[in-house]
Chains A and B, each alone.
Chain A
Amino acid sequence: MSMDLQIDFNAEAREKIWKRYIKDIPDNHFLFLPSCILGVGYPGSEAMMPRLFDYLKLDWNWNLGPESVCTCCSAITYHGDVATIESTLLTIARLWSIAQEAGYKDLAVSCVTSFGMHNECLELYHHEPGLKKKIDRMLMEACGRKFELPEHIIHVSDLIYKYRHDLAGSMKYRLINKKSDNPLQVVDHVGCHYNKLFPVDKSLGGAEYCEVLTGMVKAYGGTEIDYPERRHCCGMGFRQCMISPNRGYSMACVKKKMESMELFMPDFIVTNCPGCQIMLDKEQWAIKELAGKDYSIPVLTYMELGGLLLGWDPYDIVGIQFHTVPVEPLLDKIGIPYDETKLWLGKNGQILNCPDPIRKYTLAAGEEKKGQLL
């Protein structure tokens, strides 16, 4: 399906709407809570968070002692119907207790599901009389700890949004096509648990015109794409992706989004949720295998996007080799150099065995087919 004329949406009106939903983003003295899955799927993305906090000279911490005391927030089990809400309330109360013991009232969460879960617990305490007392008792019985409600729970993308203009000022590259000099067209995909659970006071820009990623894209020189399935879920949902018979639903969601955005010819997708990043990137390969349709639209996390534009090494620091849809064509578009011999170069200077057969084949196909899923 091709479209002969591009009609633009009214960007000024969109600005007015998202500005109805703003929030405080405390950036001084916060505890950083990493994600369970982001570091596994896209290790560079999570490893860049501490790097970027230091780059921005923020007062933050994540290392609270010699023993690892932070656990999973348990949202994955709660949303997967494996654990009860009481178990999750207790797990999160323990995390808050640890933060408060170390002197932190504010938390910056890496994972969108976890961000939603922390806020859901907070809301439950605000609305359910007697709940705090109950969890106080249970926490004391379970591990002898006490806890208070945190003052602020933010997502790390909130922080990056706050500093987007400062970062843009330090960036070596802009979201501009180096050949045409046109801004790159970017699809943002905001995790549902960032802006759909509490759209009014926890999301930057609300549910319909969420600004957290778009604000970064605009600050970095790109333009946003508003396509019909923009707000559609990526399909991860824990009951879909974790339960084998439901997996087809996950893929169908990605396909629906891809079909819708394809008409707008995006240069890439940017995400702020580990689950969405995995779904939108990995499922493109699965769709290619099962349905024969190749979209090959690169998917970056907002951290990877920032790192690449700051000029950090695409393989060594950003870790684009962990992507299923190759990112190199996008780097070519922007003009970011990369050295493919470093693709699987280990820290010890030895070449590692390629863990990803898809990428191996991609590279083997040579220049002509570079960037396509094989």
Chain B
Amino acid sequence: MEQVVILGGGVAGMQTAAALSDLGIKSVIIEKQSELGGKVKTYDKIFPFFQSGKEIVKYLESKLQSSSLINIKTGTEISSVTGSAPDFQVRLTADSQRIPAQAIVVATGFEPFDASLQEEYGYSVYPNVITATEMEHMLDFESDTHGELTRPSDGKPAKRVAMIFCAGSRSEKLGHNYCSRICCSFTIKQAIEIKERRPDAWVTCFYIDIRTYGRGFEEMYRKAQELGIKFIRGRVAECGMLPNGDITLKAEDTIQGKPIRGTFDLVSLSTGMTPCVDAVKLMRILGIRVDEDGFFTSIDTETQPNISSREGIFLAGAVTGLKPIPDCISDGNAVAAKVAGFIKTQVVPQGFV
């Protein structure tokens, strides 16, 4: 029987397996972490409709569990791939077992940007400068903070909150010229949560451009403005820390055309995304190409975004660039269709270019 190996058990990989199962194709999910769900399993609320990321993962998991065609291997990675499509042999680091595969799907996701590389913001040095991922954890009622927004330095409530957009994105200096696409909406969602829980909070967002492009995104942005969240157009130049742990911030307000300063209890960096940490390793093992930005190369971004540079290897989710959750799930469906077509015909679709 046909079998597909899916690398990565995040939402894109999970949806690929579920869709392949619907088509009667067997798959094995290889997940490095001990559980499925990738980054989404840590999101309490997702934008723009404030659904639970954890519940979405649970829903996908239930779909996988109900299928007899899906085999899940967690806590392991691939060590080598031999052969060629449709006779790949995949070896894992956990054991010497070989897994035969007619096709391989790469759905290994992304990594948040290491905010300490944007040194001027003082992340990792100043305790009250955190990342959006840490903010998400703080806002989660099920986490150790019980949803309380407090300053890591002294546990005092954080009332004055600054959110810096595009941390690590759109930066030639850092080698990340691309827009990470999802951080504007992700951060606006967090700003709304803060303001709704604590109406007396002062939430200020420093942005370059607001890129709320998806369905319901712009409406969410409007809601944020109506709640009294302040949006200042301009990059933040530098953060510093006062003796009491307050964070001082210098920025430029490009609409007023003047430099501004502010003092905050907490500064959250809306960190961009980078290719998954294993991208280079996978490139070598699988013999596929990556682009200049570090994300995997599709044979044609416009018409065949899920087809890698090597026959029989397909790409799903954020491995070809940043995508919000619905796009990753759509990608899982699209890849499943492409894989099914390939297994049936053994013909690799050709791109427009």
Please report A residues at the B interface, Cβ cutoff 8 Å: 3-7, 9-10, 13-14, 16-17, 206-209, 226-231, 260, 263-264
Q: Is the CB of B124 within 8 A of A7?
A: no
* Chain B residue contacts of A9, Cβ below 8 A: 122, 125-127, 241
Residues of B close to A208: CB separation below 8 A: 119-120
Q: Is B242 an interface residue (CB 8 A)?
A: yes
Interface digits, B105-127 against A, CB 8 Å rule (1 contact, 0 not)? 00000000000100110101111
Query: Which residue of B has the minimal Cβ distance to A4?
Result: B244
A232 to chain B, nearest CB (A): 9
* Residues of chain A contacted by B242 (CB below 8 angstroms): 3, 228, 263
* Docked CA distance A119–B122 (Å): 28
Q: How large is the interface on B (under 10, 10 to 19, 20 to 34, 35 or more residues)?
A: 10 to 19
**A291 vs chain B, min Cβ distance (A):** 20
Tell which of A17, A209, A263 touches B243, judged by Cβ atoms closer than 8 Å: A263
Cross-interface CB contact of B240 among A4, A7, A209, A227, cutoff 8 Å: A227
Q: Give which listed residue, B124, B240, B244, contacts A13 with CB less than 8 A.
A: B124
Whole-angstrom CA separation of A6 from B125 in the bound complex: 15
Asked whether A229 lies within 8 Å of B119 as measured between CB atoms, the reply is: no
Task: Tell whether B24 is near chain A: CB-to-CB under 8 Å.
Answer: no
User: Which chain B residues border A228 with CB–CB below 8 Å?
Assistant: 240-242, 248
Do A209 and B119 touch (CB < 8 A)?
Answer: yes
Please determine whether A14 and B125 come into contact, CB atoms closer than 8 angstroms: yes
Complex alpha-carbon distance, A227 and B242, angstroms: 7
24 cross-chain CB contacts under 8 A: A3-B242, A3-B244, A4-B244, A5-B243, A5-B245, A6-B244, A7-B127, A7-B154, A7-B243, A7-B244, A9-B126, A13-B116, A13-B124, A16-B124, A17-B125, A206-B119, A208-B119, A208-B120, A226-B240, A226-B241, A228-B242, A229-B240, A260-B240, A264-B243
Rounded to whole Å, the gap between the CB of A64 and the closest CB of chain B is 41
- Which positions in B face A, CB cutoff 8 Å? 116, 119-120, 122, 124-128, 153-154, 238, 240-245, 248
Q: Which residues of B contact A4 (CB under 8 A)?
A: 244
Point out the residues of chain A lying under 8 angstroms from B243, CB to CB.
3, 5-7, 263-264
- Asked whether A231 lies within 8 Å of B238 as measured between CB atoms, the reply is yes
Shortest Cβ distance from residue A148 to the other chain B in the assembled complex, whole angstroms:
32
Kindly list the 7 A-B residue pairs having the minimum CB-CB distance in the complex, ordered from nearest: A228-B240, A7-B245, A13-B124, A3-B243, A208-B119, A228-B248, A3-B244
Smallest beta-carbon distance B177→chain A, Å: 18
Closest to B152 in A: A7
- Expressed in whole angstroms, the minimum distance between the Cβ of B175 and any Cβ of chain A is 13
Selected contact of A7 from candidates B116, B119, B122, B241, CB within 8 Å: B241
Contact A17:B119 (CB < 8 A) given known A7-B154, A10-B125, A231-B238: yes
User: Roughly how many angstroms separate A4 CA and B154 CA in the complex, as a whole number?
Assistant: 12
Cα distance A208–B243 in the bound complex, in angstroms: 19
Query: How many A-B Cβ pairs are below 8 Å?
Result: 58
Q: Which residue of chain B has its CB nearest to the CB of A14?
A: B125
Minimum CB distance partner of A9 in chain B: B125
CA distance A6 to B154 in the complex (A): 10
The residue in chain B whose Cβ has the minimal distance to the Cβ of A207 is B119
The CA of A227 and the CA of B122, in the complex, are separated in Å by 12
Contact A16 B116 (CB under 8 A): yes
Chain B residues closer than 8 Å to A263, beta-carbon distance: 242-243
A3 to B240, CA, bound (A): 15
Beta-carbon nearest neighbor of B151 in chain A = A7
**Shortest beta-carbon distance, B118 to chain A, in Å?**
10
How far does the Cβ of A258 sit from chain B's closest Cβ, in whole Å? 15
Cβ-closest chain A residue relative to B244: A3
Q: How far is the CA of A14 from the CA of B119 in the complex (A)?
A: 10
- Chain B residues lying within 8 Å of A207, measured Cβ to Cβ, are 119
How many Å from the CB of B246 to the closest CB on chain A? 9
**Residues on the A chain within 8 Å of B245, using CB:** 5, 7
Chain A residues with CB under 8 Å of B154's CB are: 5, 7
Contact (Cβ within 8 A) A17 B116? yes
CB < 8 Å: which of B119, B128, B240 contacts A230?
B240
B125 pairs with A13, CB closer than 8 A: yes
- In Å, the complex CA distance between A10 and B300 comes to 46
Interface-centre pick from A6, A228, A264 (highest chain B CB count, 10 A): A228
A-side contacts of B122, CB under 8 Å: 9
- What is the distance, in angstroms, from B116's C-beta to the closest C-beta of chain A? 6
Measured between alpha carbons, how far is A13 from B152 in the docked complex, in Å?
A: 16
* Most B CB within 10 A of own CB, among A7, A208, A264: A7
- The distance from the CB of B158 to the nearest CB of chain A, in whole angstroms, is 14
Say how far A169's CB is from chain B's closest CB, in angstroms: 30
Chain A residues with Cβ under 8 A from B240's Cβ? Answer: 226-230, 260
- Docked Cα-Cα span, A10 to B126, in Å, equals 6
- Give the distance to chain B from A16, nearest Cβ to Cβ, in Å: 7
Hey, which chain B residues are within 8 Å of A6, CB to CB?
243-244
**Alpha-carbon distance A208/B241, docked complex (angstroms):** 13
Residues of B within 8 A of A260 (CB): 240
A13 and B124 CA atoms in complex are apart in Å by 6
Contacts of B119 in A (CB 8 A): 17, 206-209
Q: Report how far A230 CA is from B122 CA in the complex, Å.
A: 13
The CA of A3 and the CA of B119, in the complex, are separated in Å by: 26
Q: How far is the CB of B242 from chain A (nearest CB, A)?
A: 6
19 more A-B contacts (CB under 8 A) besides A4-B244, A10-B127, A16-B124?
A: A6-B244, A7-B127, A7-B128, A7-B243, A7-B244, A9-B122, A9-B127, A14-B125, A17-B124, A206-B119, A208-B119, A209-B119, A209-B125, A226-B240, A226-B241, A227-B240, A228-B240, A229-B240, A230-B240
Q: How far is the CB of B237 from chain A (nearest CB, A)?
A: 10
Question: Which one of B119, B120, B127, B241 has the highest number of Cβ atoms from chain A below 10 Å of its Cβ?
Answer: B119
Which residues of A sit under 8 angstroms from B120, Cβ to Cβ?
A: 208
Question: Which residue in chain B gives the minimum CB-CB distance to A5?
Answer: B244
CA distance A9 to B129 in the complex (A): 11
**Whose C-beta in chain B lies nearest to the C-beta of A7?**
B245
- A208 to B238 CA separation, bound complex (whole angstroms): 9
Q: B182: shortest Cβ distance to chain A, in Å?
A: 27
Which residues does chain B contribute within 8 Å of A206, judged by CB atoms?
Answer: 119
List chain B residues, Cβ under 8 A from A229.
240
Which chain B residues lie closer than 8 Å to A226 at the CB level? 125, 240-241
| Chain B residues positioned under 8 Å from A230 (CB to CB) | 240
